[in-house]
Amino acid sequence: MNDTKITNLVEKLDWSKLPFEVQDDLVEKTGESVFKSIMVRIIESLSEEDKETFVEILEAGEVDELVLNNFIVEKVPNADELVSQEVEKFLKETNDVMDQI
């Protein structure tokens, strides 16, 4: 997640009143969760052949972020929209849980 989305997330979830260390930990865990959701959506959108290529890129040892990013941009033209949808989905689910407390 980029810094702007992280800042927006902290603001939307009203974490700004928490100690910085707690905010940092929550952002890290949230980022991991949202990242996993995004990766699932990306994989679901790929053809079988592209899924195999994607796995090869990920299993090639140290992942070259530029290669991975270029692959995603080429194979998933709506990747930015997909990321935004997953962030919004996370925020909605989090807000729903908070409303129940």
What does the pLDDT average to over 1-15? Answer: 65
pLDDT in tens, 9-25: 667 777 778 888 888 88
Range of the domain at 32: 3-100
Angle, CA 83 vertex, CA 59 and CA 101 arms, to 5°: 110
Collect contacts of 91-96 with beta carbons under 8 A, ≥24 apart. Answer: 91/9, 91/12, 91/13, 94/13
- pLDDT confidence band for 79 (50 / 70 / 90): very high
pLDDT in tens, 45-70: 999 999 999 999 888 888 888 988 99
Q: Do residues 5 and 38 touch, judged by C-beta distance below 8 A?
A: no
Residue that the structure tokens 């935004």 belong to: 84
- pLDDT for residue 5: 62
- Looking at the structure of the chain, the number of domains it has is 1
Q: Quick one: tokens of 66?
A: 């530029």
Whole-model pTM over 0.75: no
Centre a 10 Å sphere on the Cβ of residue 72 and count the other Cβ atoms it contains.
20
Say how far apart CA 60 and CA 3 lie, in whole Å: 28
Pick 66 or 94 by higher pLDDT. Answer: 66
